[in-house]
Amino acid sequence: MSAEPRLTEHERALYARQLRLPGVGEAGQLKLRAAKVLLLGAGGLGSPVGLYLAAAGVGTLGIADPDKVEVSNLHRQILHGFDTLGLPKTISAAEALAEVNPGLTIVLHPEGFIAENAADLVARYDLVVDGTDNFPTRFLAADACVLGRKPLVHGSVLRTEGQVGVFLPGAGCYRCVYPVMPDPASVPTCAEGGVFGATCGVIGSWMASEVIALLLGQRQESRLQVVDLAAGVSRALRLSTDSACPVCGAHPAIRQLEPARYAATCASSPRSSPSAMSAYPLEVSIEEAHRLLASAEPPFLLDVREPGEFAVCQLPGAKLIPMNTVPERLAEIPRDVPVLVHCHHGGRSMKVTQFLRAKGYAQVANVQGGIDAWSLKIDPKVRRY
């Protein structure tokens, strides 16, 4: 009869501060040691995720990334350095993670995460972490986890904003929020929009903490956390299964991972020219919003701030639907007229704009700068806060 698993004295010393936490102890640390986590992407998000999971004592970490280290990566992808330029990211990451925790088992998947291997990879791990930067892989990861009944932790960043999603089997998935893959031309990439390295650090660390919480059995529901570092705020959207979801709903249309569905990639799908983009812009300037609202047929103006903010100042005719209530109040947002979405500075409203577009709203645009820009450029009588 085999002996019951126990921590070594070295492990007790290494994880001493972590072992003292409620819900961890030796039993929790043994759960982490036995866990197998698949990390998609060893870049800006994958770097802090990988480092903190290795340091926390997760036993096996798989790394799927087909890219090589480039100099433009280094300001945010802290697994890599000048000495690993040109190396595959999987190898560079493995070297760095082994320094953090020599006892870590690292499995490399330099072919990346593609439709042809997704189901097999998901089946080999307990949990998947998606830190990739393109929609085809995000949707592939989401679908593969639903079909494989594995939890998914998702992260994304742009400029000073980010999202952290936790999607549990049977409790709402990524497609419940974003049912249709958007046109890559509709959302700027980090290369175009820019990103602070520290933003990746915050979001990646948050993702790692969610992975650890899941492995310890401390998460019971799906949720999407939206973080605006510039404004210093974060908001959680609690999720549940959408009966119309194409992959986990009552009548799913997606039952297998067909390669054609995920054929586009960032490398093979360059940004479209303006003429090829959606006829309705993703964003409008504050001046253009003013012009449209003053026209004979003004658009529907949606304010997604909180009630306390709305009480401080508001634009005439605006409909208040706070961001975290939008999914359950879609019936209040018209589909047959243009919609302008605004918030305080434009961060929350951009997330809602993207969400509404994914839900089939063809004429919806974000108001750049939000109500603060309106006060500065259009009407100084609107109170700033």
So which residues are the catalytic ones? 190, 343
The tally of CA atoms less than 13 A away on the side-chain side of residue 341 is 28
The tally of CA atoms less than 13 A away on the side-chain side of residue 306 is 6
Core vs surface per residue 363-382: b (16+ CB within 10 A) or e: bbbbbbbbbbbbbeebeeee
Residues 6 or more apart in contact with residue 172 via CB below 8 angstroms:
221, 222, 239, 240, 241, 242, 248
What the block records as the tokens of 142 is: 């989401």
Q: Please write down the HEC assignment for all residues of the chain.
A: CCCCCCCCHHHHHHCHHHHCCCCCHHHHHHHHHHCEEEEECCCCCHHHHHHHHHHHCCCEEEEECCCECCHHHCCCCCCCCHHHCCCEHHHHHHHHHHHHCCCCEEEEECCCCCHHHHHHHHHHCCEEEECCCCHHHHHHHHHHHHHHCCCEEEEEEEECEEEEEEECCCCCCHHHHCCCCCCHHHCCCHHHHCECHHHHHHHHHHHHHHHHHHHCCCCCCCEEEEEECCCCEEEEEECCCCCCCCCCCCCCCCCCCCHHHHCCCCCCCCCCCHHHCCCCCCEECHHHHHHHHCCCCCCEEEECCCHHHHHHCCCCCCEECCHHHHHHHHHHCCCCCCEEEECCCCHHHHHHHHHHHHCCCCCEEEECCHHHHHHHHCCCCCCCC
Q: Which of 194, 196, 214, 98 is nearest to 154 (CA)?
A: 214
